[in-house]
Amino acid sequence: MAKAPSPLSRRRFLAVGAGAGLLLGVGGALVARGGGRAHYRSLHPPGVRPRVFSDKAFGVLCALCERLLPGKDASDPTRPDAREARIAERIDRELTFHTPRMKRDVELALLFVEHGGLLHASTTRFTRLVPLDQDALLQKLLEGAAFERQAAGALKLLALFFYYSDERTWKGLHYAGPVGILRKRPPADSNPLA
């Protein structure tokens, strides 16, 4: 009796592989839709151009800072929000002094947050979500797998550092500012060999 041909010949394997690749490509294009340069520039503060980041990464950073940091408070009108404190601009400017690897890592973390919804069954980008859904996605990233926590946590730490280094935020923390420390001169005989 003749052996039945394999249902998955080389030719059929190549056809199935090409079809799957095409489907993945079309699916990726559909997921990536709706994120043009104009969308990300609309998230930038008026007249601000990033120095280090791409327009996309800077737009994500602006949106992220607005979700991570306190907003305006009627009880303390002097406390700035993320846009007034220019947090995204300050982070962008600070990275001009750092290595290319550091710049790349921060930008990749921002792009991860933008597309992190894919890990949680959402094809909507972070910057396209409504604020409550942005908060929910950030919470999932901050509580997710180690790589999710590292990326989202590092960006959160960076934003908080720059926000609370602004003196206008100190009043809400009941912090009066750094205390000046007077340095005592060492006694003249403390180092006889000098």
| Digit-coded pLDDT (tens) for 53-62 | 999 999 999 9
| Digit-coded pLDDT (tens) for 116-138 | 999 988 899 999 999 999 999 99
Identify any residues that bridge with 76 across adjacent strands, giving them in sequence order. Answer: 73
| Digit-coded pLDDT (tens) for 90-110 | 999 999 999 999 999 999 999
What is the spatial distance between Cα 127 and Cα 56, in angstroms, rounded to a whole number?
Answer: 10
27, pLDDT greater than 50: yes
* Cα separations in angstroms, 45 against 11, 42, 51, 60, 65: 55, 8, 14, 12, 12
Q: What is the 3-state secondary structure (H, E, C) of the chain?
A: CCCCCCCCCHHHHHHHHHHHHHHHHHHHHHHHCCCCHHHHHHCCCCCCCCCCCCHHHHHHHHHHHHHHCCCCECCECCCCCCCCCCHHHHHHHHHHHCCHHHHHHHHHHHHHHHHHHHHHCCCCCHHHCCHHHHHHHHHHHHHCCHHHHHHHHHHHHHHHHHHHCCHHHHHHHCCCCCCCCCCCCCCCCCCCCC
What share of the chain has pLDDT > 90, as a percent?
59
57 compared with 5, residue with greater pLDDT: 57
pLDDT band at residue 30 using 50, 70 and 90 as cut-offs: very low
pLDDT at res. 194:
45
pLDDT at res. 156:
97
Q: How many residues does the chain have?
A: 194
100-115 vs 55-68: helix axis angle to the nearest 10?
Answer: 70
28, pLDDT greater than 60: no
Average pLDDT, the chain: 85
pLDDT at res. 18:
72
Q: What's the whole-model pTM score?
A: 0.75
